[in-house]
Amino acid sequence: MTQQLSWEVLQSIVQSQSIEQLSMQQLDELFHAEKDMMAFLPDSVCQIDPRNGELIVYNSTRARRPHDSGIPDARLAIDEKPCVICQGKTTGVVDVAQLSQGATFINKNLFPIIYPLQNILEEYRQQPLYPDPMHTGRVSYGFHFLQWTSTQHDQDWHTLSLDDGVIVLQRLAALEGKLLYESGALMPPSEMPPPRKSTHGFVSIIKNHGRLAGGSLAHGHQQIGCSNIMPSRFYNNWCFAQRHDGENFSHYLLRENPVELQVRDYGEAVLLVPYFMRRPYDMLLVVKNTERQYVHELTDAEIRAVTQGIQDAIRALIRIMPLLGREPAFNMTINNGPGAGLYLEFLAHTQEIGGFEQLGLWVCQESTTNAAAYLRENLVVR
């Protein structure tokens, strides 16, 4: 029988049926009440690589995660050990929505990369980054959530119906909106000078699928970080718009990316291979209305188009990678905030990262034209 988290067990760990019902204060208290999390708290320190502005946060306790103890054990954790999520052995749930079968839900990451510190000094709440002449690091804090795509162990974007996928994305959007608009007492403004939308902090949404791409649990999930620090990709998007007289990256890409690299058009969004593809089958899913900055700003039609794009991209990678002799592994990231427009990136683990790549010289084993054509073929065949 397929594993799944039953409705009864799920209800026993539900603290809130919907994220909209919780105040930030209550959310903060729920994080502090997770006693099992205390052994795995992050160092709450962020350093910046002065060469490229990349941020490094430290969590020296993370190496102790039970499912991360070396490669052989990690494989066991993914494939064979009873799933802790299916057993309901996880943190309190803050949002649940029923799907046609089972449910999708959001809870707190037991092994957080950021944590809501108490008594953050006012100066740290003024701006995301500030000088650090002694190199002691800057404080990093916030909330780290997990969204479990389905209570059914083997269900994820690629197996869900479109209607169920839409619900999963809508709940992600609700969490994103909550964090951006209601965390003003804790987080610095999302832009300097502060944006007219009065959003605070940075909401990073990612998915790791497959052991080789950092997925440490097989049960399909997304990770959501709400941090005071701005990930460097967000900063790059913002800089891009500054350099291009206010044109954001999505707008530029829709104008410049060669039409033969389009994989599929969904009306409100388009899936494409970027002309600067770094690894075979890397894809971008771009929302055509480039005024959009965040997932919660999307209309129902846009949410539906983005869901279709996510499902197609993931299905294609899961189909193609075994044909390349590789186990499916990829990262999905959502690029939101100023300067991005709104786009998702699918980064396939189709090649290792070598020394040239570490120098910033990416050697890609496939052409963009071939990759786009092959992806189109693999979308048609289901």
- Interface region with Zn ion, contact rule CB under 5 A, candidates 38-46, 82-90, 243-251, 310-318: 82-90
Q: How far is the CB of 10 from Zn ion (least distance, A)?
A: 12
86 binds Zn ion (CB under 5 A): yes
What number of other Cβ atoms are within 10 A of residue 281's Cβ? 25
Contacts of 98 (CB under 8 A, 6+ apart): none
| Least distance between Zn ion and beta carbon 1 (Å) | 12
By C-beta, is 151 or 190 nearer to Zn ion?
A: 151
Which of 85, 224 has the CB closer to Zn ion? 85
Give me the amino acid identity at 191.
E
Stretch of residues binding Zn ion (CB under 5 A), selected from 79-87, 97-105, 241-249, 354-362: 79-87
CA 346 to CA 265: how far, in whole Å?
16
Q: Between 85 and 103, whose beta carbon lies closer to Zn ion?
A: 85
Q: What is the smallest separation between the CB atom of 83 and Zn ion, expressed in angstroms?
A: 3
Can you say whether residue 16 is alpha, beta or left, with left for phi > 0 and alpha for psi between -120 and 50 degrees?
A: beta
Minimum CB separation of residue 4 from Zn ion in Å reads 7
Q: Quick check: 153 binds Zn ion (CB under 5 A)?
A: yes
Q: Hey, which bits of the chain come out as E strands?
A: 45-48, 55-57, 93-98, 103-108, 138-139, 142-148, 202-209, 221-227, 262-265, 269-272, 283-287, 330-335, 343-348
Using rule CB under 5 A, residue 160 touches Zn ion: no
Nearer Cβ to Zn ion (207/292):
207
State which of positions 25-64 bind Zn ion (CB under 5 A).
none
Q: Closest distance between Zn ion and the C-beta of residue 263, in Å?
A: 30
Q: Among 37, 57, 85, 314, which residue interacts with Zn ion (rule: CB under 5 A)?
A: 85
Report long-range pairs for 321-329 (Cβ below 8 Å, ≥24 apart): 321/348, 321/349, 321/350, 324/280, 324/350, 326/212, 326/350, 327/210, 327/211, 327/212, 328/209, 328/210, 329/209, 329/210, 329/211, 329/212, 329/213, 329/215
User: Dihedral angle at the C-alpha atoms of 274, 279, 281, 285, nearest 10 degrees?
Assistant: -40
Closest distance to Zn ion from the beta carbon of 82 (Å): 8
Judged by CB under 5 A, the stretch of 76-84, 111-119, 143-151, 260-268 that binds Zn ion is 76-84
**Binding of Zn ion at residue 83 (CB under 5 A)?**
yes
Write down the least CB distance from residue 86 to Zn ion, Å: 4
Nearer to Zn ion among residue 86 and residue 285 (C-beta): 86
Sheet (strand 45-48) strand order: 55-57, 45-48, 138-139
CB of 3 to Zn ion, least distance (A): 5
Coil, helix or strand for 148? strand
If one asks whether residue 174 binds Zn ion (CB under 5 A), the answer comes out as no
Among positions 201-220, residues that touch Zn ion (CB under 5 A) are: 219
Binding site for Zn ion (CB under 5 A): 83, 85-86, 153, 219
